[in-house]
Protein backbone atom coordinates (compact mmCIF):
# COMPACT_ATOMS: atom_id res chain seq x y z
CA UNK A 1 0.00 0.00 0.00
CA UNK A 2 1.17 3.54 -0.70
CA UNK A 3 2.24 5.77 2.17
CA UNK A 4 -0.09 8.57 3.16
CA UNK A 5 0.46 11.42 5.53
CA UNK A 6 -2.11 11.41 8.33
CA UNK A 7 -2.98 13.85 11.08
CA UNK A 8 -0.19 12.27 13.11
CA UNK A 9 2.26 13.95 10.71
CA UNK A 10 0.65 17.39 10.96
CA UNK A 11 1.39 20.29 13.29
CA UNK A 12 -2.19 21.56 13.51
CA UNK A 13 -2.06 24.64 15.71
CA UNK A 14 -2.34 27.87 13.76
CA UNK A 15 -3.20 26.13 10.50
CA UNK A 16 -6.22 26.86 8.30
CA UNK A 17 -7.19 23.47 6.97
CA UNK A 18 -9.24 22.94 3.82
CA UNK A 19 -11.03 19.70 4.61
CA UNK A 20 -12.82 17.81 1.83
CA UNK A 21 -15.77 15.93 3.27
CA UNK A 22 -18.81 14.17 1.81
CA UNK A 23 -21.97 15.96 2.92
CA UNK A 24 -24.05 14.64 0.04
CA UNK A 25 -26.50 13.26 2.58
CA UNK A 26 -29.95 11.86 1.78
CA UNK A 27 -32.79 14.32 2.32
CA UNK A 28 -36.54 13.76 2.63
CA UNK A 29 -38.95 16.69 2.75
CA UNK A 30 -36.08 19.06 3.39
CA UNK A 31 -34.74 17.06 6.33
CA UNK A 32 -31.68 14.84 6.60
CA UNK A 33 -32.81 11.20 6.68
CA UNK A 34 -29.41 9.65 7.42
CA UNK A 35 -26.68 11.39 9.42
CA UNK A 36 -23.98 8.75 8.90
CA UNK A 37 -21.76 10.81 6.62
CA UNK A 38 -21.92 13.77 8.99
CA UNK A 39 -21.11 11.59 11.98
CA UNK A 40 -18.13 10.01 10.20
CA UNK A 41 -16.31 13.36 9.86
CA UNK A 42 -16.78 14.43 13.48
CA UNK A 43 -13.59 12.80 14.83
CA UNK A 44 -11.36 14.53 12.29
CA UNK A 45 -13.00 17.95 12.68
CA UNK A 46 -12.87 17.81 16.48
CA UNK A 47 -9.25 16.68 16.49
CA UNK A 48 -8.30 19.61 14.28
CA UNK A 49 -10.26 22.24 16.21
CA UNK A 50 -9.14 21.03 19.63
CA UNK A 51 -5.53 21.28 18.47
CA UNK A 52 -6.03 24.93 17.47
CA UNK A 53 -6.76 24.64 13.77
CA UNK A 54 -9.37 26.48 11.71
CA UNK A 55 -11.42 23.98 9.70
CA UNK A 56 -12.85 24.97 6.32
CA UNK A 57 -15.27 22.31 5.07
CA UNK A 58 -15.55 21.64 1.33
CA UNK A 59 -18.27 19.43 -0.09
CA UNK A 60 -20.64 18.89 -2.99
CA UNK A 61 -24.36 18.26 -2.81
CA UNK A 62 -26.39 16.83 -5.65
CA UNK A 63 -25.70 17.52 -9.33
CA UNK A 64 -26.11 21.26 -9.99
CA UNK A 65 -24.01 20.91 -13.18
CA UNK A 66 -21.76 23.88 -12.54
CA UNK A 67 -24.55 26.35 -11.82
CA UNK A 68 -25.84 27.89 -8.62
CA UNK A 69 -29.02 26.09 -7.54
CA UNK A 70 -30.66 27.11 -4.24
CA UNK A 71 -32.21 23.65 -3.93
CA UNK A 72 -28.71 22.18 -3.69
CA UNK A 73 -27.24 24.62 -1.21
CA UNK A 74 -25.29 23.25 1.72
CA UNK A 75 -26.65 25.94 4.04
CA UNK A 76 -29.46 23.67 5.41
CA UNK A 77 -26.79 21.32 6.79
CA UNK A 78 -25.29 23.93 9.12
CA UNK A 79 -27.66 23.15 12.00
CA UNK A 80 -27.01 19.41 11.83
CA UNK A 81 -23.24 19.97 11.68
CA UNK A 82 -23.37 22.35 14.62
CA UNK A 83 -25.37 19.83 16.62
CA UNK A 84 -23.06 16.90 15.90
CA UNK A 85 -19.88 18.90 16.46
CA UNK A 86 -21.15 20.66 19.56
CA UNK A 87 -20.23 24.16 18.36
CA UNK A 88 -21.54 26.89 16.11
CA UNK A 89 -20.61 26.53 12.44
CA UNK A 90 -20.16 29.52 10.15
CA UNK A 91 -21.29 29.46 6.52
CA UNK A 92 -19.99 31.18 3.40
CA UNK A 93 -22.16 31.57 0.32
CA UNK A 94 -19.35 30.62 -2.02
CA UNK A 95 -16.30 28.36 -1.94
CA UNK A 96 -13.94 30.83 -3.67
CA UNK A 97 -13.56 34.57 -4.00
CA UNK A 98 -13.46 37.65 -1.74
CA UNK A 99 -16.57 36.82 0.30
CA UNK A 100 -15.32 33.34 1.19
CA UNK A 101 -11.87 34.76 1.97
CA UNK A 102 -13.39 37.41 4.25
CA UNK A 103 -15.46 34.82 6.13
CA UNK A 104 -12.53 32.45 6.58
CA UNK A 105 -10.17 35.27 7.54
CA UNK A 106 -12.48 36.38 10.36
CA UNK A 107 -12.31 33.04 12.15
CA UNK A 108 -10.29 32.28 15.25
CA UNK A 109 -8.51 29.06 16.22
CA UNK A 110 -10.90 26.20 16.87
CA UNK A 111 -13.56 27.54 14.50
CA UNK A 112 -15.34 25.67 11.70
CA UNK A 113 -16.87 27.08 8.53
CA UNK A 114 -18.82 25.32 5.80
CA UNK A 115 -18.36 26.70 2.30
CA UNK A 116 -21.09 26.56 -0.34
CA UNK A 117 -21.44 23.63 -2.76
CA UNK A 118 -18.21 23.24 -4.78
CA UNK A 119 -20.26 21.94 -7.72
CA UNK A 120 -21.86 25.34 -8.17
CA UNK A 121 -18.70 25.94 -10.23
CA UNK A 122 -18.07 24.04 -13.47
CA UNK A 123 -14.37 23.92 -12.57
CA UNK A 124 -15.05 21.38 -9.82
CA UNK A 125 -16.08 18.44 -11.97
CA UNK A 126 -13.68 19.53 -14.73
CA UNK A 127 -10.81 19.23 -12.21
CA UNK A 128 -9.79 22.72 -13.27
CA UNK A 129 -6.46 23.76 -11.79
CA UNK A 130 -7.32 27.46 -11.76
CA UNK A 131 -10.49 26.77 -9.78
CA UNK A 132 -8.49 24.59 -7.38
CA UNK A 133 -5.95 27.39 -7.00
CA UNK A 134 -8.72 29.79 -5.98
CA UNK A 135 -9.81 27.35 -3.26
CA UNK A 136 -6.20 26.86 -2.18
CA UNK A 137 -5.95 30.59 -1.39
CA UNK A 138 -8.34 30.04 1.52
CA UNK A 139 -6.04 27.78 3.52
CA UNK A 140 -2.53 26.48 3.95
CA UNK A 141 -3.15 22.73 4.42
CA UNK A 142 -5.40 20.17 2.72
CA UNK A 143 -7.12 17.26 4.48
CA UNK A 144 -9.15 14.69 2.55
CA UNK A 145 -11.68 12.88 4.71
CA UNK A 146 -13.98 11.89 1.83
CA UNK A 147 -12.99 8.47 0.54
CA UNK A 148 -16.50 8.18 -0.91
CA UNK A 149 -15.70 11.02 -3.35
CA UNK A 150 -12.12 10.03 -4.11
CA UNK A 151 -12.88 7.89 -7.15
CA UNK A 152 -13.59 11.14 -8.99
CA UNK A 153 -10.79 13.36 -10.31
CA UNK A 154 -12.42 16.63 -9.30
CA UNK A 155 -10.80 19.88 -8.25
CA UNK A 156 -11.54 19.49 -4.53
CA UNK A 157 -10.49 15.82 -4.42
CA UNK A 158 -7.51 15.72 -6.78
CA UNK A 159 -6.12 19.03 -8.06
CA UNK A 160 -6.27 20.76 -4.67
CA UNK A 161 -4.23 17.97 -3.08
CA UNK A 162 -1.29 18.91 -5.33
CA UNK A 163 -1.40 22.60 -4.39
CA UNK A 164 -1.14 22.32 -0.61
CA UNK A 165 0.49 19.92 1.85
CA UNK A 166 -2.01 17.03 1.78
CA UNK A 167 -3.09 14.66 4.55
CA UNK A 168 -5.64 11.90 5.04
CA UNK A 169 -8.28 12.58 7.68
CA UNK A 170 -9.23 9.95 10.24
CA UNK A 171 -12.21 8.70 8.24
CA UNK A 172 -10.09 8.34 5.10
CA UNK A 173 -7.32 6.71 7.11
CA UNK A 174 -9.72 4.16 8.62
CA UNK A 175 -11.17 3.33 5.21
CA UNK A 176 -7.77 2.81 3.62
CA UNK A 177 -6.55 0.63 6.47
CA UNK A 178 -9.71 -1.47 6.39
CA UNK A 179 -9.53 -2.03 2.66
CA UNK A 180 -5.83 -2.78 2.72
CA UNK A 181 -6.44 -5.35 5.44
CA UNK A 182 -9.25 -6.95 3.44
CA UNK A 183 -7.71 -7.13 -0.02
CA UNK A 184 -4.02 -6.21 -0.13
CA UNK A 185 -2.60 -8.01 2.91
CA UNK A 186 -5.47 -10.04 4.37
CA UNK A 187 -5.50 -12.81 6.92
CA UNK A 188 -6.40 -15.98 5.06
CA UNK A 189 -8.60 -17.72 4.12
CA UNK A 190 -10.53 -14.81 2.58
CA UNK A 191 -14.22 -15.04 1.74
CA UNK A 192 -15.98 -12.50 -0.46
CA UNK A 193 -19.74 -12.21 -0.81
CA UNK A 194 -20.89 -10.43 -3.95
CA UNK A 195 -24.59 -10.02 -4.62
CA UNK A 196 -26.91 -7.81 -6.56
CA UNK A 197 -29.11 -7.94 -9.59
CA UNK A 198 -26.74 -8.19 -12.54
CA UNK A 199 -23.21 -9.44 -13.14
CA UNK A 200 -22.87 -6.91 -15.98
CA UNK A 201 -22.39 -4.17 -13.38
CA UNK A 202 -19.75 -6.12 -11.45
CA UNK A 203 -17.63 -7.90 -14.06
CA UNK A 204 -14.43 -6.02 -13.15
CA UNK A 205 -15.08 -6.78 -9.50
CA UNK A 206 -15.57 -10.51 -10.08
CA UNK A 207 -12.48 -10.88 -12.27
CA UNK A 208 -10.39 -9.03 -9.68
CA UNK A 209 -11.70 -10.92 -6.67
CA UNK A 210 -11.12 -14.42 -8.02
CA UNK A 211 -7.42 -13.55 -8.10
CA UNK A 212 -7.42 -12.43 -4.46
CA UNK A 213 -9.88 -14.47 -2.39
CA UNK A 214 -10.20 -18.12 -1.44
CA UNK A 215 -14.01 -18.35 -1.46
CA UNK A 216 -16.27 -16.22 -3.65
CA UNK A 217 -19.97 -16.33 -2.82
CA UNK A 218 -22.23 -15.12 -5.61
CA UNK A 219 -25.78 -14.27 -4.58
CA UNK A 220 -28.88 -12.36 -5.61
CA UNK A 221 -29.89 -12.13 -9.23
CA UNK A 222 -26.23 -12.49 -10.21
CA UNK A 223 -26.26 -16.11 -9.07
CA UNK A 224 -29.03 -16.90 -11.55
CA UNK A 225 -26.79 -15.99 -14.48
CA UNK A 226 -24.12 -18.38 -13.22
CA UNK A 227 -26.64 -21.14 -12.61
CA UNK A 228 -27.97 -20.64 -16.12
CA UNK A 229 -24.41 -20.90 -17.48
CA UNK A 230 -24.19 -24.30 -15.80
CA UNK A 231 -27.28 -25.46 -17.64
CA UNK A 232 -29.72 -25.00 -14.75
CA UNK A 233 -33.18 -23.72 -15.67
CA UNK A 234 -33.89 -20.63 -13.54
CA UNK A 235 -37.49 -20.23 -14.71
CA UNK A 236 -38.81 -16.66 -14.65
CA UNK A 237 -35.93 -15.42 -12.50
CA UNK A 238 -33.91 -12.32 -13.29
CA UNK A 239 -31.09 -13.64 -15.46
CA UNK A 240 -28.66 -12.20 -18.01
CA UNK A 241 -28.84 -15.06 -20.48
CA UNK A 242 -26.57 -13.20 -22.92
CA UNK A 243 -23.73 -13.32 -20.36
CA UNK A 244 -23.66 -17.11 -20.01
CA UNK A 245 -20.28 -17.30 -21.77
CA UNK A 246 -18.84 -14.59 -19.52
CA UNK A 247 -20.11 -16.38 -16.42
CA UNK A 248 -18.55 -19.62 -17.67
CA UNK A 249 -15.26 -17.78 -18.25
CA UNK A 250 -15.29 -16.54 -14.65
CA UNK A 251 -16.01 -20.04 -13.35
CA UNK A 252 -13.19 -21.53 -15.44
CA UNK A 253 -10.68 -18.88 -14.42
CA UNK A 254 -11.62 -19.23 -10.75
CA UNK A 255 -10.94 -22.95 -10.90
CA UNK A 256 -7.53 -22.34 -12.47
CA UNK A 257 -6.44 -19.87 -9.80
CA UNK A 258 -7.82 -21.92 -6.90
CA UNK A 259 -10.77 -19.73 -5.96
CA UNK A 260 -13.83 -21.72 -4.90
CA UNK A 261 -17.04 -20.16 -6.19
CA UNK A 262 -20.12 -20.83 -4.07
CA UNK A 263 -23.56 -20.72 -5.66
CA UNK A 264 -26.87 -21.59 -3.98
CA UNK A 265 -27.92 -25.24 -4.04
CA UNK A 266 -31.31 -24.50 -2.51
CA UNK A 267 -33.46 -21.46 -3.25
CA UNK A 268 -36.62 -19.68 -2.16
CA UNK A 269 -39.13 -19.49 -5.02
CA UNK A 270 -42.23 -17.41 -5.66
CA UNK A 271 -44.44 -16.59 -8.62
CA UNK A 272 -44.62 -12.91 -7.72
CA UNK A 273 -42.35 -10.43 -6.03
CA UNK A 274 -44.32 -8.84 -3.25
CA UNK A 275 -44.41 -8.78 0.54
CA UNK A 276 -45.80 -11.98 1.99
CA UNK A 277 -45.91 -13.73 -1.38
CA UNK A 278 -46.63 -17.43 -1.33
CA UNK A 279 -43.28 -19.18 -1.63
CA UNK A 280 -41.48 -22.47 -1.33
CA UNK A 281 -37.92 -23.65 -0.79
CA UNK A 282 -36.58 -26.16 -3.30
CA UNK A 283 -33.46 -27.63 -4.83
CA UNK A 284 -31.96 -25.25 -7.36
CA UNK A 285 -32.69 -27.79 -10.10
CA UNK A 286 -36.40 -27.80 -9.29
CA UNK A 287 -37.40 -24.32 -10.47
CA UNK A 288 -40.67 -24.23 -12.42
CA UNK A 289 -41.04 -22.06 -15.52
CA UNK A 290 -43.31 -19.52 -13.80
CA UNK A 291 -41.24 -19.24 -10.60
CA UNK A 292 -38.59 -16.71 -9.62
CA UNK A 293 -35.56 -17.31 -7.42
CA UNK A 294 -35.77 -14.58 -4.77
CA UNK A 295 -33.47 -15.82 -2.00
CA UNK A 296 -30.98 -18.53 -1.12
CA UNK A 297 -32.45 -21.45 0.79
CA UNK A 298 -31.62 -22.36 4.38
CA UNK A 299 -29.25 -25.18 3.38
CA UNK A 300 -27.32 -22.77 1.15
CA UNK A 301 -27.11 -20.26 3.99
CA UNK A 302 -25.92 -23.04 6.27
CA UNK A 303 -23.12 -23.97 3.89
CA UNK A 304 -21.98 -20.35 3.71
CA UNK A 305 -21.83 -20.18 7.49
CA UNK A 306 -19.68 -23.32 7.58
CA UNK A 307 -17.29 -21.81 5.02
CA UNK A 308 -17.25 -18.58 6.98
CA UNK A 309 -16.24 -20.46 10.10
CA UNK A 310 -13.04 -21.41 8.29
CA UNK A 311 -12.35 -17.88 6.99
CA UNK A 312 -10.39 -15.14 8.73
CA UNK A 313 -11.37 -12.24 6.47
CA UNK A 314 -14.74 -11.39 4.93
CA UNK A 315 -15.49 -8.80 2.24
CA UNK A 316 -19.18 -8.18 1.54
CA UNK A 317 -20.77 -6.26 -1.33
CA UNK A 318 -24.39 -7.01 -2.19
CA UNK A 319 -27.24 -9.08 -0.68
CA UNK A 320 -27.93 -12.78 -1.18
CA UNK A 321 -31.56 -12.22 -2.18
CA UNK A 322 -34.35 -9.69 -2.53
CA UNK A 323 -33.83 -8.65 1.08
CA UNK A 324 -35.99 -5.53 0.85
CA UNK A 325 -39.17 -7.61 1.06
CA UNK A 326 -39.99 -10.36 3.54
CA UNK A 327 -39.83 -13.32 3.36
CA UNK A 328 -36.85 -12.99 0.99
CA UNK A 329 -34.32 -11.56 3.46
CA UNK A 330 -33.72 -14.67 5.54
CA UNK A 331 -30.47 -15.84 3.92
CA UNK A 332 -28.91 -12.37 3.91
CA UNK A 333 -29.94 -11.70 7.51
CA UNK A 334 -28.88 -15.08 8.92
CA UNK A 335 -25.48 -15.06 7.18
CA UNK A 336 -24.89 -11.44 8.21
CA UNK A 337 -25.71 -12.26 11.81
CA UNK A 338 -23.31 -15.18 11.72
CA UNK A 339 -20.59 -12.88 10.37
CA UNK A 340 -21.34 -10.41 13.14
CA UNK A 341 -21.08 -13.12 15.77
CA UNK A 342 -17.72 -14.34 14.43
CA UNK A 343 -16.42 -10.78 14.25
CA UNK A 344 -17.49 -10.06 17.82
CA UNK A 345 -15.74 -13.25 18.92
CA UNK A 346 -12.51 -12.02 17.31
CA UNK A 347 -12.21 -14.83 14.77
CA UNK A 348 -13.19 -12.84 11.66
CA UNK A 349 -12.26 -9.49 10.12
CA UNK A 350 -15.35 -8.25 8.29
CA UNK A 351 -15.44 -5.34 5.84
CA UNK A 352 -18.58 -4.37 3.94
CA UNK A 353 -19.71 -1.59 1.65
CA UNK A 354 -22.24 -0.48 -0.93
CA UNK A 355 -25.66 1.08 -0.42
CA UNK A 356 -27.70 -2.12 -0.57
CA UNK A 357 -25.16 -3.91 1.60
CA UNK A 358 -25.31 -1.28 4.33
CA UNK A 359 -29.12 -1.43 4.27
CA UNK A 360 -29.09 -5.21 4.43
CA UNK A 361 -26.69 -5.28 7.38
CA UNK A 362 -28.80 -2.67 9.14
CA UNK A 363 -31.82 -4.92 8.67
CA UNK A 364 -29.84 -7.74 10.25
CA UNK A 365 -28.88 -5.37 13.11
CA UNK A 366 -25.16 -6.13 12.78
CA UNK A 367 -23.69 -2.81 11.66
CA UNK A 368 -22.01 -2.31 15.03
CA UNK A 369 -20.52 -5.80 14.97
CA UNK A 370 -18.67 -5.66 11.65
CA UNK A 371 -15.04 -4.58 11.69
CA UNK A 372 -15.68 -1.81 9.18
CA UNK A 373 -18.63 -0.70 7.07
CA UNK A 374 -17.87 1.70 4.25
CA UNK A 375 -20.31 4.49 3.40
CA UNK A 376 -18.62 4.84 0.02
CA UNK A 377 -20.64 3.38 -2.81
CA UNK A 378 -18.83 3.87 -6.12
CA UNK A 379 -15.42 4.41 -4.52
CA UNK A 380 -15.70 1.21 -2.49
CA UNK A 381 -16.68 -0.76 -5.59
CA UNK A 382 -13.87 0.69 -7.72
CA UNK A 383 -11.32 -0.07 -5.01
CA UNK A 384 -12.55 -3.68 -4.92
CA UNK A 385 -12.25 -3.78 -8.71
CA UNK A 386 -8.53 -3.01 -8.31
CA UNK A 387 -8.75 0.49 -9.78
CA UNK A 388 -6.64 3.45 -8.67
CA UNK A 389 -8.70 6.22 -7.12
CA UNK A 390 -7.53 9.73 -8.14
CA UNK A 391 -8.26 11.31 -4.75
CA UNK A 392 -6.30 8.59 -2.99
CA UNK A 393 -3.37 8.68 -5.41
CA UNK A 394 -3.13 12.43 -4.85
CA UNK A 395 -2.34 11.77 -1.20
CA UNK A 396 0.39 9.26 -1.96
CA UNK A 397 3.84 10.11 -0.69
CA UNK A 398 5.80 7.13 -2.04
SS3 string, 71-133, reads: HHCCHHHHHHHHHHHCCCCEEECCCCHHHHHHHHHCCCCCCEEEECCHHHCHHHHCCCHHHHH
Q: What are phi and psi of 237, to 5 degrees?
A: -70, 155
What is the Cα–Cα distance from 49 to 29, expressed in whole angstroms? Answer: 32
Which residue among 97, 235, 302, 355 is the active-site one?
A: 355
Q: Is 355 a catalytic residue?
A: yes
Q: Alpha carbon 102 to chain centroid distance?
A: 36
Which residue among 198, 271, 307, 363 is the active-site one?
A: 198
Which residue among 15, 20, 37, 40 is the active-site one?
A: 37
Q: Is 110 a catalytic residue?
A: no
Element (H, E) at 145: none
> 260 burial class (0-12, 13-18, 19+ CB within 10 angstroms)?
middle
Q: Is 363 a catalytic residue?
A: no
Q: Is 63 a catalytic residue?
A: no
Which residue among 181, 302, 378, 386 is the active-site one?
A: 378
> 69 burial class (0-12, 13-18, 19+ CB within 10 angstroms)?
middle
**Which residues face 113 on adjacent strands?**
56, 90
Q: Which residues are catalytic?
A: 37, 198, 355, 378
Amino acid sequence: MATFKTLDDLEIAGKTLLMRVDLNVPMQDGRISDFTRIERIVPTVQELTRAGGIVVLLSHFGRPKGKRNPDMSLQPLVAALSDRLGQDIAFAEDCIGPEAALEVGSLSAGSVILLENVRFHAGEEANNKDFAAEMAKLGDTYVNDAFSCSHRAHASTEALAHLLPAYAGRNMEAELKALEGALESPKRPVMAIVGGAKISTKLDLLFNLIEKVDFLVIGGGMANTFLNAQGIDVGASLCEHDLADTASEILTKAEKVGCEILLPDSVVLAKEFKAGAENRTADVRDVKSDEMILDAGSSSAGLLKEKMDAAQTLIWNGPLGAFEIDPFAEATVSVAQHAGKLTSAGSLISVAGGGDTVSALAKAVVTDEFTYISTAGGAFLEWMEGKDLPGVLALKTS
